[in-house]
Structure 1
Amino acid sequence: MINQNNQKINFPFTAIIGQEEMKLALLLNIIDPKIGGVMIMGDRGTGKSTIIRSLVDLLPEISVVANDPYNSHPLDFELMSNEVRQKLNNNESLDIISKKIQLIDLPLGATEDRVCGTIDIEKALQDGIKAFEPGLLAKANRGILYIDEVNLLDDHLVDLLLDAAASGWNTVEREGISISHPSRFILIGSGNPEEGELRPQLLDRFGMHAQIGTVKDPELRVQIVEQRTAFDKEPTQFIQNYEQMQQNLIQNLYESRQNLKNVTILYQDRIKISQICSELNIDGLRGDLVTNRAAKALACFEKRLQVTHKDIERVICLCLRHRLRTDPLETMDSGTKVKEIFQQIFDYEF
């Protein structure tokens, strides 16, 4: 929705009813972007896009180098462009500004040039400079890259995303000219399982996997419809009604990002998490890493500095369910297998 000042108005995140699993996964990724993003699968009309776009108003500000197209970090070499590094090596001063984390949409029909960027060969040859027009991966650096209907994305774009997600850098090559820039982003995808499954290589790149379904409770459905009707009728007033809740959540997310480094998880609990991953025959160590990170982010969000077994229980299905499949003919497990193994190893009653 657009207001009279031509500004986009998003439905308030704190006004969303239900879909707790999806909301939790998104908030934890804001607290710790290294969790690796969220894949959200669910029926049509369940509010996937509405919830994701409502994140925009919650995103914190970050320090960036002014006029840099890659949102370069002014101190972290892994998150800055080659141009900024060169300036630092030459002892040049950097103009630093604060900027809100961006949510960048990657449309299904996007071309490779639109996603990765383009090199102006003619200008490069005539003027001897590397003329580069940044793409969506440049804009998404240190932000969020959102792909709706990600399971319908062309295979060649999937490959590009895999390369960028694996290395944290995007490289564009043309006619012997190569340009690279940092591209570290939170990858959020949404889709309808009826329209096909994701390639396992891309699915594994998502740190968490949230499943959402159509609300069955008639009273809850009526409440959701009334909320949406009120927002469409008087969006400004509706947003004002949730302003304080929004601000409280924003402050909580900010403090959680600052305090995350102080959260600890017991060694024996880390052992048990890895034991669960081993029992489930999960390939690689990404499942172990993500579960540890997500549990710490949840504890921090709830203003605790020690991870509990309850924290691990709440996040472990989100972190592991999409890593279980080995047979391509099998459907996605809802988390039953993960819960069973968790209960055995932690001796825990759900």
Structure 2
Amino acid sequence: GWLWYAGELPFLDGPGGKKAAATSAGAQKRDMIVVHLRNTKRGGSSTALLVDNVTARQGATVLLPNTLAVAKEDGTGTTLGKSVEDGSIGTREALDTVLGTRIGGTWRLDTPFLERLVDLVGGIEADTDTAVPADDRARTPAVGQGPRQSLTGAMAVAYATYRAPGEPEARQLERTGRVLYAVLRKIPSDPKAAATTVESMGQILDPGLDAQNLGGLLARIGAHAKTAAYRTEVLSVKPDGGLTDEASKKTVKELLGGTVTAAQPGAAPRVGLKDATGDEKAQIAAKAALLNGGYAFVDGGKADRPAPTTQITYQDEGQRARAVEVAKTLGLPETAVKKAESTVNADVVVTLGKDWKPS
């Protein structure tokens, strides 16, 4: 569920509340970047989207599990964690394909730079859900448990990256989210001052996201955090790496605005494939046919139960002709196409049934 890091629900009566209610989630203007927090001592990474909802005047952190299924540039499947670990330059584009978003830049935040950032803003205050023991070998300090803990840079890194044995990844991601929220609350609200803070980190940034742009975005999102107009959510992912139905409906569509209309102009149509055959060979063959047809592939995972017949669905009337083309690509008649709600975040969704055979 939602993690509300403040003692009040944002914008029930606040400025912009009526405006936000009057504008559909998908139509709202959002600026967002992806942050990869990379642990240089122990390895591994945590990924988050920082979102400035300009229309609703709200900010958000959406934390993305490393098990999230994404596509490599050649169309083959991988996980978000592996993509980040491999240093893939296509990670941002792969996330845009899965989520239907328009991520404006990538911020690779290695843990020494997070430590420096926290110290630059004078330390942070966070509600910690667990105590973190000191690690003399890794030279990491202990962190106490409880509300309003004062954390230095080193303590913030220790807490943000801590995952106890046997804990699910979501718990560690929530800790990363708490630290990011606390940092944003301390970022100067003046864009120039925020840019100076970013520059003082001494970090080499992504060419498309310089200190001025990053500082400006952090200042705007930080302003939302300071007034409690902020939400933090861990994206819910199924065991096979696909988005859960709840994640598609709530987080992706409402918080990220990742509807089919968010696809890049001129980009390849996004086609989701949900396997209801139970036959891995059929699923692989259908995926290959879609990729060869020039479509951007979105992995919809496995259906809850097998389906006897294949269905191709679209939600927006403007996508019907595209859905018919997808049917032809898979050798299916136009009767397989129908308008329906879908839990897969794509322009057109193929639910592959037992009747489908590779041509």
**TM-score normalised by length of structure 1:** 0.28
Greater per-residue strand proportion: 2
Higher normalized contact order (CA 8 Å, seq sep 6+, divided by chain length): 1
Greater per-residue helix proportion: 1
**TM-score normalised by length of structure 2:** 0.27
